[in-house]
């Protein structure tokens, strides 16, 4: 049993924190029909559904691969793109990591249905025609959206600025034709106050789906991007969008089509 394996393995690996962090969820927290994301060494993402309880396999092939703890899964190739929270999870270096995030759970269920060709999970009704995309995206995905938008406006991103060591800003950009420097701040849930940035010596671009506060006057150096600007950009350049955004757009189109056919 898994309990027997756990007790025997603990005697050997209990001081190995990585083993404990991986074995605990794999043995005791995962369950059938849970969804799991995997990534290969080429950076390709796969989405799978767990189809069995834990098994211990001691055949030579499993022992040689050092994979004696297994669960049967059906996997589908997604590609180089995945929801932002999934991609971030792989950066932590953990062997197994649970993601407690509703948007990722939702996108994963919808994606699995698409890839498998069957409505295994009841998820369609959770993204309606009037659903708010911005509420379902991670902060990183919102930053990517704004970065793509500004690049289409002629700005180039300075990669080293993405390290996050610039107070108050997410990254730095430069206008390709004039060399003008500018800085960008993006917030998913917090309301931004443009007035805070009026004395900054460079141009500033802001975006917050939650809106803006303060005396919203005309500031020479501050550009507060509007929701409808970014929404129009998303619809006009769908081929540039992330996996999550494309999936959302497809679902809203299907929802609208279904509503018309009723």
Q: How many domains does the chain have?
A: 2
- Asked if the structure places residue 241 within a domain, the reply is no
Q: What phi-psi label fits residue 93: left (phi over 0), alpha (psi between -120 and 50 degrees) or beta?
A: left
Mean pLDDT in consecutive groups of 10 residues from the start of the chain, 262 residues: 87 84 86 93 94 91 87 92 83 79 86 92 69 82 94 95 82 95 91 90 94 76 93 94 86 70 60
Range of the domain at 7: 2-97
In whole angstroms, what is the distance from residue 193 CA to residue 206 CA?
Answer: 9
- Asked if the structure places residue 111 within a domain, the reply is no
Q: Residue 63: what pLDDT?
A: 87
Whether residues 139 and 90 share a domain: the answer is no
pTM for this entry: 0.76
- Asked if the structure places residue 124 within a domain, the reply is no
Residue 47's beta-bridge partner residues?
A: 37, 76
Whether residues 91 and 143 share a domain: the answer is no
- Asked if the structure places residue 13 within a domain, the reply is yes
In whole angstroms, what is the distance from residue 137 CA to residue 203 CA?
Answer: 26
Q: Residue 244: what pLDDT?
A: 84
- Asked if the structure places residue 122 within a domain, the reply is no
- Asked if the structure places residue 120 within a domain, the reply is no
Q: Residue 9: what pLDDT?
A: 86
Q: What is the CATH number of the domain that holds 208?
A: 3.40.1350.10
Q: Residue 129: what pLDDT?
A: 52
Q: Residue 258: what pLDDT?
A: 63
Whether residues 228 and 139 share a domain: the answer is yes
Contact 248, 114 (CB under 8 A): no
Q: Residue 261: what pLDDT?
A: 61
């Amino acid at each position: 049993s898994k309990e027997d394996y756990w007790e025997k393995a603990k005697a050997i690996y209990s001081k190995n924190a990585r083993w404990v962090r991986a074995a605990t969820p794999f043995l005791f927290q995962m369950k059938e029909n849970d969804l799991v994301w995997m990534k290969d060494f080429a950076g390709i993402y796969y989405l799978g559904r767990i189809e069995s309880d834990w098994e211990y396999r001691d055949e030579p092939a499993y022992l040689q691969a050092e994979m004696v703890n297994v669960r049967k899964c059906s996997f589908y190739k997604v590609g180089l793109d995945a929801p932002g929270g999934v991609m971030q999870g792989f950066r932590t270096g953990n062997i197994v990591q649970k993601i407690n995030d509703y948007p990722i759970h939702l996108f994963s269920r919808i994606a699995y249905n698409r890839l498998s060709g069957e409505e295994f999970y009841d998820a369609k009704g959770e993204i309606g025609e009037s659903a708010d995309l911005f509420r379902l995206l991670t902060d990183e995905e919102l930053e990517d959206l704004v970065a793509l938008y500004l690049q289409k406006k002629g700005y180039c991103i300075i990669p080293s600025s993405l390290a996050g060591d610039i107070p108050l800003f997410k990254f730095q950009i430069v206008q390709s034709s004039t060399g003008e420097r500018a800085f960008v701040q993006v917030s998913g849930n917090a309301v931004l106050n443009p007035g805070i940035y009026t004395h900054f010596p460079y141009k500033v671009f802001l975006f917050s789906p939650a809106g803006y506060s303060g005396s919203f006057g005309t500031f020479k150096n501050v550009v507060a991007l509007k929701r409808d600007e970014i929404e129009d950009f998303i619809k006009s350049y769908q081929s540039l969008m992330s996996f999550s955004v494309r999936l959302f757009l497809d679902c809203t189109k299907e929802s609208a089509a279904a509503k018309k056919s009723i």
